[in-house]
Structure 1
Amino acid sequence: MSDASDSGPPRKTQKLFPLFNKPGQTSSDSTSSFRWLSPALGPKRSCLHGVNHVPKPSSKVAAFDLDGCLIKGTFPKKGAPPSFEWWRPIVPKKLKELHEQGYAIVIITNQALRTQALINDWKKKIPLIANALSDVPFRIFAATEKDGYRKPIPGMWYELERIFAQEGVQIADLSNSFFVGDAAGRPNDHSSTDLKLALNIGIPFQTPEEYFLGLPKAQYTLPGFHVSSLPMDVPRIEPAEPPLLPAPSSPEVVLFVGYPALGKSSFFRTQFEPAGYVHVNQDTLKTRDKCVKATEQALKEGKSVVVDNTNRDKATRQYYLTLAKKYKAGARCIYFTGTLELAWHNNLYRAFNLPPSHAEPKRALLPYSAFTGFRADFEEPGGEEGFAEVRRVNFVFEGGEEERRRWGMWLQIDGK
């Protein structure tokens, strides 16, 4: 990222804060007021959490990214002692002022560290920063995996809210808090995840240049998928007539087709389960052979079946069409039309961003290859395959106000 202040007069070399002043000296964190809290947060202990002194909760939060914001981003050489350099000399003074004004100071950082050894080395840097902020209590969260803690998904902010609530403090008026970060979607920024996090939380945002140096707001772009790009007021089912469920007659096989995470199972529960259709799903049965056998067993018993799989190509669908013909059953297709980007977004939402009040448990994150694999092999279903009809189902979000708010956030674990 270009440094907006480089056009000014030359500055003195900034002080470098090393962990060891000379060989054999005791580590500076041996007397540090900073401590990492154990265990780390999250089901996989992927969110590191530490405190300097005893930071008090506050209804107003000053949150900061770390690298490229409070300190200069560096890539330490192997074997070199940890060290850091302030992004600008004014940083510690501004943090002290915020503390004196009653803000809770919180560092929220993504750290893409591939091994435990790299994580351990990185952790040694934070006591140095704490020692240089000896009169400033702060709290730090660091996301080390690509999961619900990784910005812009607000998992680290949710943890902050939870911790504050345990001490009877709520961050009620978000306009009194703010977030400062360098990943703002500007032309030379590495990403836009800091700005997206602030938008997700609903707090004011500034870049380091704006906050620390008083420079004007820069132009930015926000790449990636957002639900605001979806068409409005689309019909749920096309065509709407005739009724989705026919009058009871002979059994039928209904094949669902579409990306994972487009609401196929929910559609079954609301539309077909009340009518007694058998639910065949490979997530439960594990193999296609078992799905085919379960479908045949239901038809033998005179029952209608919904095959709730992705059923991406004609060859896969033919297994079930052959059974329908064998048992003189009807055959229909329900095609869920959402894009890969929407499906991946829904996958992230249900794995990482469901509200605690959500009735159903979180789903495990499906790998991205499940979506690209579907796209590579997909053949759009048509009547020439042997279906009596092909109906299209457009994705329409169904949920309460808080669920819709969280679904409507910027959700990503990779990319810009």
Structure 2
Amino acid sequence: MSASRKRSASHLQQDDPGPSTKTQKGKCPPLLSHPHLTSPPVFPIFNNPRQSTAPTHTTDSTFRWISPALGPKRSCLHGLSGHPKPSTKVAAFDLDGCLIESSFPKKGTPPNFLWWRNLVPNKLKEAHQQGYSVVIITNQALRTTALVNDWKKKIPLIAAALPDVPFHIFAAIEKDGYRKPIPGMWYELHRIFAEQDVQIDVPNSFFVGDAAGRPNDHSSTDRKLALNIGIPFHTPEAYFLGLKEAAYTLPGFNVSTLPKDEPRLVPADPPLLSAPSPELVLFVGYPALGKSLFFREHFAPAGYTHINQDTLKTRDKCVKAVGQALQEKQSVVVDNTNRDKQTRQYYTNLARKHKVPVRCIYFTGSIELAWHNNLYRALNLPPSLSSTEPKRGLLPYSAFTSFRENFEEPSVDEGFSEVRKVNWVFEGDEEARRRWNMWLQIDGK
């Protein structure tokens, strides 16, 4: 993400509004009684950063990065300033465009930062004094290890400018389950606090971020994260300046838009397993629409052989395995996407050769639903399922667009005895449904 796309507050870096500025009732803590602060907006040791590639002297910051970073790919950086104590109340903040001005490290220049607004340090101190745990939760689009290392040098400077505010910082540096709005960083905070026997009181905590879906915002990921967590949300203008919250929209797919109460199987009759045996069954549909689960629930108990290209790797191996199973008088399910007539013809020809009936089960979900399910099962499963379900990696978006571009809806004219449709119906417990209901996205796919 380029710096130009992040919401800038340079036009607000003048005098702060006077004491007459009003807050929204019940929305955020009152403004400081002395809004005209005298602290310089740039950290003072870098008044002329072009003269040197390193700080002119060291700071007294007690900040440290925790090693190793979090996650299987070490993609969630975690740092501590001072000795933050867990609290049931959390004051969480985005970083760029919220606490500091957006900037990206430039090779050969020392790290520096500019407060988003002069009153930010005192507001953070105020939150700490009110008993909140101060936490920074940030996405960082840093493409190389060198950029990550340069960016990491900025955070101790921020910590040194906040000597009375111990805090945690979490930074997502990859497009994975830690990247907002997927709540991976929040899950880590919850885990760390729980290990110290502290449960976060989410309704009495809050999150402040500038990616709020307003007309000039670069995105809406901060507001979506807050909705996913269930935590009260404020924009920086509302929390720090007491301004009225602006109108917003939340683009993208959400499961709340799906039709309600659709039948699972169309037509419902005859019973799914009433066909003669042996038979060949072809699944058709986007990845991540529940085809493999449907097989396990309905066909595996009846002894059907499962043929899947994820396991066998190539279509030729799938075709050979189907032929062998039919030769041995076994009923077979081909659990692939089978997106077009030409692909499906390999299998209908085999059915004709072995003189067995062939039918099609068509999973009807959209590309938006399939991509959402892909994110959910790879990045946001509840622990109770991630420990028991087969591990699914995140499929690339190209797998979904390729299906869409080449898809031909199946029909009985291809030689099927019937084509039955399976509509998506979520199956899972309350926690699984809560996580599936979230806003799940990775910008840029």
Equivalence for 2:121 = 92
Equivalence for 2:424 = 395
Equivalence for 1:259 = 286
Give, in angstroms, the shift of residue 135 of structure 1: 1.2
Once the two structures are superposed, what CA deviation does each residue of 1:166-206 show, in whole Å capped at 9, x if it has no partner? Answer: 111111x3111000000000000000000000000000000
* 2:239 matches 1:214: no
Residues in 1 aligned to 2:389 and 2:244: alpha-carbon distance in whole angstroms: 45
Counterpart of 2:304, as a letter, is Y
Equivalence for 2:207 = 179
8 Å CA contact 2:86–2:133 kept in 1: the answer is yes
Give, in angstroms, the shift of residue 30 of structure 1: 5.9
Correspondent of 1:236 among 247, 250, 264: 264
Equivalence for 1:377 = 406
Change (3 A) 1:356 1:25: closer
Change (3 A) 1:7 1:124: closer
Counterpart of 1:270, as a letter, is E
8 Å CA contact 1:252–1:305 kept in 2: the answer is yes
Give, in angstroms, the shift of residue 75 of structure 1: 3.1
* 2:42 matches 1:16: yes
Correspondent of 1:282 among 283, 298, 309: 309
Residues in 1 aligned to 2:205 and 2:398: alpha-carbon distance in whole angstroms: 39
Give, in angstroms, the shift of residue 23 of structure 1: 4.0
Equivalence for 1:341 = 368
Correspondent of 2:88 among 59, 63, 73: 59
Change (3 A) 1:6 1:126: closer
Give, in angstroms, the shift of residue 105 of structure 1: 0.3
What's the TM-score, normalizing by structure 1? 0.95
Counterpart of 2:336, as a letter, is N
* 2:443 matches 1:414: yes
Change (3 A) 1:92 1:7: closer
Give, in angstroms, the shift of residue 246 of structure 1: 1.3
What secondary structure is seen at the aligned counterpart in 1 of 2:383? coil
Give, in angstroms, the shift of residue 31 of structure 1: 3.9
8 Å CA contact 2:55–2:110 kept in 1: the answer is no
8 Å CA contact 2:362–2:421 kept in 1: the answer is yes
* 2:77 matches 1:48: yes
Counterpart of 1:91, as a letter, is V
Once the two structures are superposed, what CA deviation does each residue of 1:310-367 show, in whole Å capped at 9, x if it has no partner? Answer: 0001111000000000000000000000000000000000001000111314310001
* 2:112 matches 1:83: yes
What secondary structure is seen at the aligned counterpart in 2 of 1:114? coil
Runs of 4+ with deviation above 3 angstroms: 1-14, 18-31
Residues in 2 aligned to 1:91 and 1:111: alpha-carbon distance in whole angstroms: 21
Residues in 2 aligned to 1:41 and 1:250: alpha-carbon distance in whole angstroms: 51
Give, in angstroms, the shift of residue 102 of structure 1: 1.0
Equivalence for 2:325 = 298
What secondary structure is seen at the aligned counterpart in 2 of 1:85? coil
Correspondent of 1:189 among 217, 226, 230: 217
Moved more, 17-26 or 306-315: 17-26
8 Å CA contact 1:354–1:362 kept in 2: the answer is no
Equivalence for 2:33 = none
Residues in 1 aligned to 2:94 and 2:60: alpha-carbon distance in whole angstroms: 25
* 2:66 matches 1:37: yes
Once the two structures are superposed, what CA deviation does each residue of 1:270-300 show, in whole Å capped at 9, x if it has no partner? Answer: 0111111100000111111111111111101
Once the two structures are superposed, what CA deviation does each residue of 1:52-109 show, in whole Å capped at 9, x if it has no partner? Answer: 0111111110000000000011234331211101110110001111111111000000
Unaligned runs of 5+ in 2: 1-6, 17-35
Change (3 A) 1:24 1:47: closer
Unaligned runs of 5+ in 1: none
Equivalence for 1:362 = 391
Equivalence for 1:103 = 132
What secondary structure is seen at the aligned counterpart in 1 of 2:362? strand
Counterpart of 2:290, as a letter, is G
What secondary structure is seen at the aligned counterpart in 2 of 1:16? coil
What secondary structure is seen at the aligned counterpart in 2 of 1:83? coil
What's the TM-score, normalizing by structure 2? 0.89
Moved more, 313-322 or 1-10: 1-10
What secondary structure is seen at the aligned counterpart in 2 of 1:321? helix
The residue correspondences of 1:121-140 to structure 2 (distance < 5 A) are: 121-140=150-169
What secondary structure is seen at the aligned counterpart in 1 of 2:391? coil
Give, in angstroms, the shift of residue 15 of structure 1: 2.6
* 2:222 matches 1:199: no
8 Å CA contact 2:81–2:167 kept in 1: the answer is yes
Give, in angstroms, the shift of residue 2 of structure 1: 7.2
Residues in 1 aligned to 2:112 and 2:174: alpha-carbon distance in whole angstroms: 23
Change (3 A) 1:122 1:3: closer
Residues in 2 aligned to 1:164 and 1:277: alpha-carbon distance in whole angstroms: 47
8 Å CA contact 1:29–1:128 kept in 2: the answer is no
Equivalence for 2:359 = 332
Counterpart of 2:174, as a letter, is E
What secondary structure is seen at the aligned counterpart in 1 of 2:409? coil
Change (3 A) 1:2 1:218: farther
Residues in 1 aligned to 2:278 and 2:432: alpha-carbon distance in whole angstroms: 37
8 Å CA contact 2:54–2:109 kept in 1: the answer is no
How many residue pairs end up in the alignment? 414
Counterpart of 1:203, as a letter, is I
Change (3 A) 1:373 1:208: same
